[in-house]
Amino acid sequence: MNTAPIVAAQWATRDVHGTAQVGHALLAGNGLPGRWRGRERFTILETGFGSGNNFLATLAAWRADAQRCIRLHFVSIEPTPFERSAMASIEREPALAPLAAMLVAAWPPLTCNLHRLSFEAGAVELLLAFGDVAAWLPQLSLEADAFFLEGHAPTGSPAAWAPRVFKAMGRVAATDATVAAWTAARSLQAGLLQAGFETEPVFDQKGGCESVAGHYAPRFVRRGSTRRSDPAARHPGDEPVVVVGGGLAGCAVASALAEAGLSSVVFERNAHIAQEASGNVAGLFHGVVHAEDGRHARFFRAAALAARAEVAAALGSGVPGSVEGLLRLEFGESEAAMRAVAARLGLPVDYARVVDAAEAGALAGTALHAPAWFFASGGWVDPRALCSWWLERAGTRATVRTGGSVAALRRDAGRWLLVDAGEQVLASAATVVLADGGGSLLLPDSPPWPVARVRGQLSSSPMAGWPTDHVPRMPVTGAGYVLAPIEGAIWFGATTRLDDGDAATRDGDHRANMERVRRLLSISEPMAVPDHGRTGFRWLADDRLPIVGSIPNMAAVADASGPTFDRPRLVPRLPGLYAICALGSRGIASAALGARVIASAISGGPSPIEADLLDAIDPARFVSRVVRRSAAASAGACARKDMAVNLLQAVLGPAGSAGD
Ligand SMILES: Cc1cc2nc3c(=O)[nH]c(=O)nc-3n(C[C@H](O)[C@H](O)[C@H](O)COP(=O)(O)OP(=O)(O)OC[C@H]3O[C@@H](n4cnc5c(N)ncnc54)[C@H](O)[C@@H]3O)c2cc1C
């Protein structure tokens, strides 16, 4: 997806539509509230969020309805969103004012990605996509039960009413989807008809033709669903999902599943959760800025914003951390070049902005000697406490079973069996999520995808031995990082070395960390080599993105003769088997967002990230990569089949033993 800077809307002072109008045109036009009654979930897709009044009126109607659906997803695309201050200044009807205040409090920076805002203890989810409607619609992975179409006349919103918009709506429409719009303009009705919607004008009380309502009734067989998990393997809601691994990934998944209404059992081989990579005293989270704004930068931007929301909520329960920002120093880049990138990408300052060395020093509370990105939405958190908080938030929906290692997965009678080293069955489950670090459970001898286990060491020095002029009050990163003091000590690091199996801290690595922090903070005074720290092992995929999603069915890939699998979304999947692995050195951000991706895939809710980012983190991307490379080298199904068999053996052992 091409991203373009978001242009904020002009100042607004009052609502365009009142609750009664929204109720008449959009809610009643879609048969609401009646159609959401008795449903587990209901998804509304809107083109044009504007002042948010349609959403607020819908939320008010949902709140007031005793028979409402359990979960309401409201997905809205807005090409020119309001800044938070403009949003806050809009005059609202008294009935909507308190809801509007909640919306403003959660209002995100205007960056081009999906923003997830959660209300009513997670029962109502607002997914906001800022940018062009026609570009966004094909990127949404969901099933819409109702459409709210913004705009009053085709001349007013020509881009929002382009034929490809209506076509894309048809692709995400549930079989019984309905649609309503503010106008009954002919071109709108013609466009909807072309895309498979039958519409009729709705008259107001005075008999004037005011709006349009309709339903999806295609006279053609439409292409398959936009979802990429095996639809035949939808998780039965009445049994728990089994999660292997009680680190950041596993605990975040348990929490996200609970919010989606599903229970889970987390299997952790250690006596306590968060003892391995997730066992550090503190970790940072922040976005990535890159001039090209490619998938890597876009994923980690969305992930950092998701982490911020989680950490901000966790801080309220006493989890140590901060969401007050973070500095990333750029020693090799000029300030002018950085400002040019920021301007070209149109980065909002509440996400990231460029600061010169003097301002960076003022923010950090210690002199710094390089320009920096100030990530206002970044911060730090204690990952151990965050893991515990995620499990606490899941409440009775999450159970933890510690002290037993899962040795292997077996497929038996349509279910997954988790067995220990003695082949004793630990659990039988319809749905399993591998959150074991690297997904090595799939094949103990060699990893199922191109990942490496990388050794990392952090160092810590007591405040007493630290040069007093060089104590930062917020995290500072660059080549390495340093945190503000935590309980009388300063933590800094971290090394990145190939795994040699040695978990002991080493003097050489402490020295390397010390040299890094001296350069970062321009420390010239002598310092004692630290003698305290912690070693951990991070799993890293070769493309530096996490591995999140449904696991490919390599037996089906090998057997297929017709379709090509050059895009991950086309690759067949093993039923009910998911991974959230290889979180690398950005585990906090990747866990926060990746867990939502897993929960939406299992529960059937809208994906919290766009389709090309789903591709970017999809476990099947490695299959597609091999297909593309082998297709470039030699064409033909035969070559593809050989490749698939080789991959199959590498991934699952001879004969694809885990295939159904
Ligand atoms: C030195 C260092 C510094 C870092 N700094 C940062 C930072 O500043 N910011 C940041 O975001 N990230 C940072 N990271 C990375 C981050 O810590 C990891 O990405 C993250 O912890 C990975 O979480 P995880 O849940 O995937 O893995 P883990 O925390 O390793 O959890 C996997 C869990 O699965 C369990 N398990 C594995 N196999 C089995 C099995 N067969 N049966 C039962 N249980 C099993 C393990 O015991 C473990 O508890 C750092 C990492 C290191 C090492």
Give the model confidence (pLDDT) of 206-224 as tens digits: 666 678 899 999 887 666 5
Q: What is the mean pLDDT of residues 109-115?
A: 95
- The residue whose two tokens read 């429409």 is 173
Q: Which of 264, 267, 270, 280 to mutate to test the pocket of ligand 1 (most atoms within 8 A of CB)?
A: 280
What's residue 20's pLDDT?
73
The percentage of residues in the chain with a pLDDT greater than 70, rounded to a whole number, is: 88
Q: How far is CA 104 from CA 83, 100, 150, 351, 520, in A?
A: 10, 6, 21, 16, 37
- 352 alpha carbon – ligand 1 mean position (Å): 27
Q: Helix 587-603 vs helix 295-315: angle between axes, to the nearest 10 degrees?
A: 90
- 536 alpha carbon – ligand 1 mean position (Å): 8
Q: pLDDT band for position 649 (50/70/90)?
A: very low
pLDDT in tens, 174-187: 999 999 998 888 88
What's residue 158's pLDDT?
65
Q: Which residues pair with 418 in a beta bridge?
A: 409, 427
What's residue 566's pLDDT?
86
What's residue 654's pLDDT?
37
CA distance 594 to 303: 8
CA distance 475 to 378: 9
- 381 alpha carbon – ligand 1 mean position (Å): 14
Atom 23, ligand 1: residue with shortest CA distance: 248
- The distance from CA 46 to its chain's CA centroid, rounded to whole angstroms, is 20
Give the position, in ligand 1's atom list, of the atom nearest the Cα of 582.
Answer: 26
Cis peptide before 494 (omega within 30 of 0): yes
Ligand 1 pocket: which residues have CB below 6 Å? 244-250, 267-270, 275-278, 280, 283-285, 383, 405-406, 435-437, 441, 456-458, 493-494, 536, 538, 583-589
What's residue 11's pLDDT?
59
Cis peptide before 33 (omega within 30 of 0): yes
The percentage of residues in the chain with a pLDDT greater than 90, rounded to a whole number, is: 74
- 474 alpha carbon – ligand 1 mean position (Å): 24
CA distance 359 to 216: 56
- 228 alpha carbon – ligand 1 mean position (Å): 26
Residue predicted with more confidence, 594 or 162: 594
What's residue 379's pLDDT?
98
What does the DSSP assignment read for 125-168?
Answer: EEEEEES-HHHHGGG--S-EEEEEE--S-TTT-TGGG-HHHHHH
Flag whether pLDDT at 94 surpasses 50.
yes
Flag whether pLDDT at 445 surpasses 70.
no
Give the position, in ligand 1's atom list, of the atom nearest the Cα of 274.
Answer: 49
CA distance 337 to 335: 5
Q: pLDDT band for position 24 (50/70/90)?
A: confident
Give the position, in ligand 1's atom list, of the atom nearest the Cα of 587.
Answer: 19
Residue predicted with more confidence, 324 or 163: 324
Q: What is the mean pLDDT of residues 108-127?
A: 96
pTM exceeds 0.85: yes
- The residue whose two tokens read 């504007």 is 50
Candidate from 59-68, 153-162, 164-173, 464-473 with smallest mean pLDDT: 153-162
Atom 37, ligand 1: residue with shortest CA distance: 436
Candidate from 230-234, 264-268, 324-328, 356-360 with smallest mean pLDDT: 230-234
Give the position, in ligand 1's atom list, of the atom nearest the Cα of 282.
Answer: 8
**Is residue 182 classed as helix, strand or coil in its secondary structure?**
coil
CA distance 242 to 431: 6
Give the position, in ligand 1's atom list, of the atom nearest the Cα of 539.
Answer: 19
DSSP structural state of residue 14:
B
CA atoms in the 13 A half-sphere facing the CB of 256: 30
Candidate from 477-481, 496-500, 617-621 with smallest mean pLDDT: 496-500
- 278 alpha carbon – ligand 1 mean position (Å): 4
Atom 50, ligand 1: residue with shortest CA distance: 585
CA distance 402 to 388: 14
Instruction: Spell out a b/e string for 361-380, using b for 16 or more CB atoms within 10 Å of the CB, else e.
Output: bebbebebebbbbbbbbbbb
- 392 alpha carbon – ligand 1 mean position (Å): 19
Q: Which residue in 29, 21, 4 sits closest to 56, CA to CA? A: 21
Q: Which residue in 581, 582, 588, 552 sits closest to 567, CA to CA? A: 552
CA distance 100 to 19: 13
pLDDT in tens, 337-368: 999 999 999 999 999 999 999 999 999 999 99
- 247 alpha carbon – ligand 1 mean position (Å): 6
Q: Which residue in 448, 370, 422, 406 sits closest to 652, CA to CA? A: 448
Atom 13, ligand 1: residue with shortest CA distance: 585
Q: Which residue in 205, 203, 73, 51 sits closest to 143, CA to CA? A: 73
Interstrand relation of 326-329 and 476-478 (parallel, antiparallel or unpaired): parallel
CA distance 563 to 653: 23
Q: Are 78 and 48 in contact (CB under 8 A)?
A: yes
**Is residue 42 classed as helix, strand or coil in its secondary structure?**
strand
Q: What is the mean pLDDT of residues 142-159?
A: 77
pLDDT in tens, 292-324: 999 999 999 999 999 999 999 999 999 999 999
Number of residues in the chain? 660
CA distance 514 to 507: 10
Q: pLDDT band for position 592 (50/70/90)?
A: very high
Helix runs in 427-525, H state only: 507-520
Q: pLDDT band for position 228 (50/70/90)?
A: low
Atom 1, ligand 1: residue with shortest CA distance: 456
Q: Which residue in 540, 539, 533 sits closest to 509, CA to CA? A: 533
Q: Whole-number mean pLDDT of the chain?
A: 89
Q: pLDDT band for position 12 (50/70/90)?
A: low
C-beta neighbour count of 185 within 10 angstroms: 20
Element housing 33 (H / E): none
Q: Which of 243, 436, 502 to mutate to test the pocket of ligand 1 (most atoms within 8 A of CB)?
A: 436
Give the position, in ligand 1's atom list, of the atom nearest the Cα of 589.
Answer: 11
User: Under the phi-then-psi rule, with left for phi > 0, alpha for psi from -120 to 50, and beta for the rest, what region is 458?
Assistant: beta
